[in-house]
Amino acid sequence: MKNEDKHLIIIGGVAAGMKAAAKARRESPAMKITVLTDEEYISYAGCGMPYFIGDIIKDSKKLIIREPAYFKNMHNIDVLIRHQVTAIDTQSRQIKVNDLEKGQELRFSYDKLIIATGAQPIVPPLPGISLGNVFTLRTIANAVKIKTLVYSGNVKNAVIVGGGLIGLEVAENLVLRGIKVTVVELLDQILSPLDKDMSLLVQKHLIEKGVEVIISDGVKSFEGNENNIVTRVITGKRQLPADMVILSIGIKPNTKLAQDAGIEIGTTRAIKVNERMETNIPGIYAVGDCAETTHLVTRKPAWIAMGSTAAKMGRVAAINATSGVDAFKGILGTMIVKIFDLNVGKVGLSEREAVKEGYKTESTIVPASDKAHYYPNAKDIIIKLIADITTRKLLGAEMVGEGMVDKRIDIIATALTFGATVDQISKLDLAYAPPYAMAMDAVIVAANVLNNKILGKTTGILPQKVVEKFDRKEDFVLLDVRSELEYNSGHIKGCKHIPLDKLTSRISELDSSKEIITYCRAGLRAAHAYRILKNAGFKNVKYMDGSILAWLQELEK
């Protein structure tokens, strides 16, 4: 059978599915291609929905990139909306389809099948979960409902259940509409992909922007009024008024159809595929949010649903399902999110994840400027880098700041793809001019700091560990080496203050038998003070990673 006589069926019409369809057509001019979806809309930008709600994107049509007629006219691709695939018969190579409009059952034969069934929001079976104005945010329909409600002016209080990416993006967009927003997170931190120290920087910012952030508390039930509209959220510890609830606890891959057909499910509960995106059944591929892949750092199966991954997977499956050969080797869990004035990103493993994977890690937190210090509008980024001490390879990075985080995340993503060592990152020939970076870019500075720690040239201590030392009432000196002015405008409670330029002359004030931990604003002076003390024969000296910029507790004045 020639390719032009074959039939490629794609189940699912959003990112991965439509990308696969379009790419398959480019690869194969004559193959019959059919896309089936139980939804009403195809090819929409789920990631844009929070911004649609916040009216940064005005029109819901802007979120719909293409309509079925476009695919028919332009690509000769049949897109059947409101057609639910109910079964795959891998023996006869047929699918059973329910036409949701006409209520008919149909059958289609396929030669190649691409499963792009996506994922769905987790909706816990809590009392009151079906009340009015309790939403998930995954479909255009719900996005429009939420926006309409927000613009009705009837929402004073909104509760967001789950402190993940989407939840926090929505939080921002609701606050911008003047709504009081409470985020309730069951875990002991928001943004669980991040380490807690970095997550707390985000949490602090949310609170400053007026969002109430509740951690370590779970929703138990929802209460409504006589019209069955939600009015209250009952958590383990609290009762929260709520005119609207957004559930963003997480998502799960839609795998039932595949599983029922005998297609293998991976350890991550998503559909298992090889590099060609092929399942255990020859000729059947899985792509997008329903498909598993490999983590390029751990080399283990991973499922981290992202629109960017979906698009790449769709392309690879399309090439393999037509006449070519292509491979998708995996992901790094790269993420970026705008939360009010902050850019928050992560790539590779967090320190917690790395330790759990058995790596012996070293890490650092380094604040650095995103542009030349003297260039107007230069902003700070706080960079955490995590490395494997044994191989000196970088394992991951987390970044939080008003500065350009996305650029540095992408630099690290590229470096991680090629297994870069910390030293290699510190030597990268990155683009330099004052409006774009410091002469040594922020990631290079951070890599140098981490390299010094790995090589034993310096000893740092994370702020969180300093807090624990205070809590344990340990006998140590926290040394603030900033100027008088900076010290008076706010310092860490219990510190000793000696400005850096006085440190040599006043060094006798310090007891060299004690542990001394230095800090300043962003780390440079703390590192100098560390060096001065070491050179003066102090044995037990550390600097506090990230200094004041990474310090989360209240400052004393």
Which of positions 81-120 make contact with its own copies (CB under 8 A)? Answer: none
Strands 335-339 and 212-214: unpaired
Reference 395, options 368, 413, 383; nearest CA is 413
CB of 15 to its own copies, least distance (A): 7
Q: Please report whether residue 334 would count as binding its own copies according to CB under 8 A.
A: yes
Q: Please report whether residue 143 would count as binding its own copies according to CB under 8 A.
A: no
Q: Which of 111, 406, 486, 515 binds its own copies (CB under 8 A)?
A: 406
CB of 112 to its own copies, least distance (A): 19
Q: Please report whether residue 456 would count as binding its own copies according to CB under 8 A.
A: no
Reference 52, options 132, 147, 130; nearest CA is 147
Cα separation, 299 vs 293, in Å, equals 10
Beta bridge partners of 396: 348, 386
CB of 371 to its own copies, least distance (A): 10
Q: Which of 81, 372, 507, 552 binds its own copies (CB under 8 A)?
A: 372
CB of 482 to its own copies, least distance (A): 14
Name the residue nearer to its own copies (CB basis): 12 or 330: 330
Question: What residues between 512 and 551 interact with its own copies by CB under 8 A?
Answer: 527-528, 531, 534-535
CA 354 → CA 213, 394, 464, 493, distances in Å? 27, 11, 18, 32
Reference 261, options 493, 96, 82, 71; nearest CA is 96
Cα separation, 338 vs 406, in Å, equals 10
CA 413 → CA 101, 255, 408, 424, distances in Å? 45, 29, 8, 14
Report helix, strand or coil for 509: helix
Q: Please report whether residue 404 would count as binding its own copies according to CB under 8 A.
A: yes
Q: Which of 43, 139, 203, 309 binds its own copies (CB under 8 A)?
A: 309
Q: Please report whether residue 310 would count as binding its own copies according to CB under 8 A.
A: yes
State the DSSP string of 148-210: HHHHTT--SEEEEE--SHHHHHHHHHHHTTT-EEEEE-SSSSSSTTS-HHHHHHHHHHHHHTT
Report helix, strand or coil for 71: helix
Question: What residues between 159 and 198 interact with its own copies by CB under 8 A?
Answer: 165, 169
Q: Which tokens in the block code for residue 102?
A: 């006409």
Binding flags for its own copies, 467-506, as an x/- string (CB under 8 A): ---------------------------------xx--x--
Task: Tell me how many degrees the CA angle 45-48-50 measures, rounded to the nearest 5.
Answer: 140
Please tell me what DSSP assigns to residue 496.
E
**Binding residues for its own copies, how many (CB under 8 A)?**
87
Question: What residues between 39 and 58 interact with its own copies by CB under 8 A?
Answer: 45, 47-48, 51, 56-57
CB of 98 to its own copies, least distance (A): 30
List all residues 6 or more positions away from 292 whose beta carbon is below 8 Å from its beta carbon. 266, 267, 268, 270, 271, 272, 273, 301, 302, 303
Cα separation, 36 vs 257, in Å, equals 13
Please return the burial class of 489, using the count of CB atoms within 10 Å of its CB with bins 0-12, 13-18 and 19+: exposed
Question: What residues between 340 and 369 interact with its own copies by CB under 8 A?
Answer: 343, 345, 347
> Which range touches its own copies (CB under 8 A), out of 34-42, 91-99, 206-214, 309-317?
309-317
Q: Please report whether residue 415 would count as binding its own copies according to CB under 8 A.
A: yes
CB of 194 to its own copies, least distance (A): 14
Q: How far is the first Cα of the chain from the last one, in angstroms, to the nearest whole number?
A: 80
CB of 403 to its own copies, least distance (A): 12
47 is catalytic: yes
Question: What residues between 423 and 452 interact with its own copies by CB under 8 A?
Answer: 424, 426-437, 439-441, 444, 448
> Which range touches its own copies (CB under 8 A), out of 103-111, 113-121, 213-221, 327-335?
327-335
Residue 531 one-letter amino acid? R
Q: Please report whether residue 308 would count as binding its own copies according to CB under 8 A.
A: yes
Name the residue nearer to its own copies (CB basis): 524 or 552: 524
Q: Please report whether residue 296 would count as binding its own copies according to CB under 8 A.
A: yes
Q: Please report whether residue 71 would count as binding its own copies according to CB under 8 A.
A: no
CB of 432 to its own copies, least distance (A): 4
List all residues 6 or more positions away from 153 whose beta carbon is below 8 Å from its beta carbon. none
- The residue from 47, 290, 495, 520 that is catalytic is 47
Name the residue nearer to its own copies (CB basis): 296 or 365: 296
Q: Which residues are catalytic?
A: 47
